[in-house]
Amino acid sequence: MSGLRSYLIIVLTLIVAMVVSILPFPHWYVVGRPLWLPLVGTYWCLASPRRMGIVTSWFAGFCFDAVRASPLGEHALALSVIAYVIQRYHLQIRTLHIGQQMLALTGIFLLYEFLIFWINGIISKPGPILLYGIPIFVSVGLWPPVSSGLRFIRRRYRVH
Amino acid sequence: MRFRPFRRRSERSLFHHQSYPEVRFAIVVVASLALLILHRGRPLGVPLARLTTETGLALEQPVSALAGFLESIGPSLASRGRLIRTNRDLRRQIFRLRADLAAERPLVFQNHRLQALLGRIRTIHQPFRLVRVLRIDLDPYRQEVVIDAGRRAGLESGDAAIDAQGLVGQVSRVAPHVSRVLLITDPSEMVPVEVAATGLLTFSVGTGIPTRLRLPYLPNDTRVHVGQMLITSGLGGHYAYGFPVAVITRVELRPNRSFARVDARPLGAISEDRELLVLIRRKAPGRKPASGKTGPGQ
């Protein structure tokens, strides 16, 4: 497929991830809210590192910051850092078994949440640290369905 | 791939499409840090931040329309019987609440007389506006809701938001049609409160947990008890005097520390609210809720 269309598909899935993360939900869900944007971003960084890299992740994070009115650059920095890590190791991670992939992603999402916690701690007050841990495990648990769903989309629309 | 600035030409062309991720990485990190430092220096003072905040808030309306649609699927699938039952229950509830209200009316008058005698003037009778909650953010670092009224409706940042049970938060950012309400449970939010029974003045600080506030500045010889109610003290002039805020749930004296550990549960049903009241501040000079108030023991 042409490059433009591939980009369009990637951007669309990223927008869906952002919208899902800001939809209102009951409280019990919000505590364990999955990190939709890092999940989808990670998938595209692994599957199509030419299209989704550090800079695209940064822009996605920047838009997310604008939508959530969080300090500009917060999610942008966190997302671009994990995009960098994934770009360095995408060939290794891609060959892993799904369970091992989930282990690797635990580390990556831990890094992401730590960056968010850290930035929040510098800018204002970070809140209780244990609450940052729950979304990591929820997101890692969602990796198999999310990645197979996105793989379906990628094959269907031939995003390379 | 290692970072090697002096590659041979053939090597460079082979890996051209992913050359130097480190350089791009360094650029985006510097850009993010620059943005964050700008934010830290003057929150929202930067025009760029203001622009993106307003654009972000403008996106709330389509998103909430989508959420409304998803929500409307639920009731339309609900059975007729259940709707009838809910309707009947709600009617009963209205009836009971009206009866309660009628019973309380003499108390209100009595209270006004007593307040006047004490020299305190209640300023709860402010104009207010009923708003709908579009979105709730209850992350540990961000306790905030987005409401469907903004500058056009007369809201300003700093207006207090309450629900049927108590204080919920204050309007923090305003766009033309939507605005954000920072909840009292946000880690950066402090509310000047007093213990209703004793008039003891202190602050409540948000914890990032929707059901918990902390009173960190009470010394170990304080006499507070579990179950006592906290109301806004009106000091600082931000919130008017007398809104219920929270109920003390835990008092732990710690002789080895400077302050006791006191927790409270907010009265407002923050995570379940669908509607809020925003009290619109008058520009009148007489808005001094703390006037005539004296310290503890009164």
CA distance linking residue B211 with residue A8, whole number of Å: 42
Please report the pLDDT score of residue A69 as a whole number: 73
Q: To probe the interface with B, which of A37, A77, A112 has the most B CB atoms within 10 Å?
A: A77
Give helix A74-95 / helix A98-123 axis angle, nearest 10°: 160
Domain that residue A53 falls in: 3-156
* A76 part of contact set with chain B, CB < 8 Å: yes
Size of interface A-B (CB pairs under 8 A): 139
CA distance linking residue B112 with residue B110, whole number of Å: 5
In one letter, which amino acid is B63?
V
Q: If you measure CA to CA, which chain B residue comes closest to A82?
A: B25
Phi, psi (deg, nearest 5) at residue B206: -70, 155
Q: Which domains does chain B have, with CATH numbers?
A: 24-58 (no CATH), 128-279 (2.40.10.340)
> Positive or negative, the Cα torsion across B90, B96, B98, B104?
negative
Local confidence band at B290 (pLDDT 50, 70, 90 cut-offs): very low
Please report the pLDDT score of residue B42 as a whole number: 59
* B25 part of contact set with chain A, CB < 8 Å: yes
Specify the higher pLDDT residue, B94 or B19.
B94
Note if the pTM is more than 0.95.
no
* B38 part of contact set with chain A, CB < 8 Å: yes
pLDDT by 10s per residue, chain A, length 160: 567 888 899 999 999 998 888 776 655 566 678 899 999 999 999 998 888 889 999 999 998 888 877 788 889 999 999 999 998 898 999 999 999 999 999 999 999 999 988 888 887 777 777 778 888 999 999 999 999 999 999 998 888 7
CA distance linking residue A39 with residue A136, whole number of Å: 10
Per residue in B178-228, pLDDT tens?
888 889 988 888 899 998 888 889 999 998 888 889 998 888 888 888 988
Mean per-residue pLDDT over chain B, rounded: 77
Per residue in B137-180, pLDDT tens?
777 777 888 888 888 888 888 888 888 788 889 998 887 778 88
Question: Do residues A57 and A83 touch, judged by C-beta distance below 8 A?
Answer: yes
Please report the pLDDT score of residue B288 as a whole number: 44
Query: Is B133's pLDDT higher than 60?
Result: yes
In one letter, which amino acid is B250?
R
- Window 79-138 of A: residues touching B by CB (8 A cutoff) are 80-81, 84, 87-88, 116-117, 119-120, 122-129, 131-132
Q: Which residues in chain B touch residue A132, judged by CB atoms under 8 angstroms apart?
A: 140
Q: Based on the structure, what is the number of domains in chain A?
A: 1
Beta-sheet pairing, B142-147 with B128-139: antiparallel
Smallest CA–CA separation between B146 and chain A, in Å?
10
Beta-sheet pairing, B190-195 with B213-214: unpaired
> Positive or negative, the Cα torsion across B255, B187, A127, A23?
positive
Which of A32, A31, A36 minimizes the C-alpha distance to A19?
A36
* A16 part of contact set with chain B, CB < 8 Å: no
Q: Which residues in chain A touch residue B141, judged by CB atoms under 8 angstroms apart?
A: 116-117, 120, 124-127
Please report the pLDDT score of residue A21 as a whole number: 82
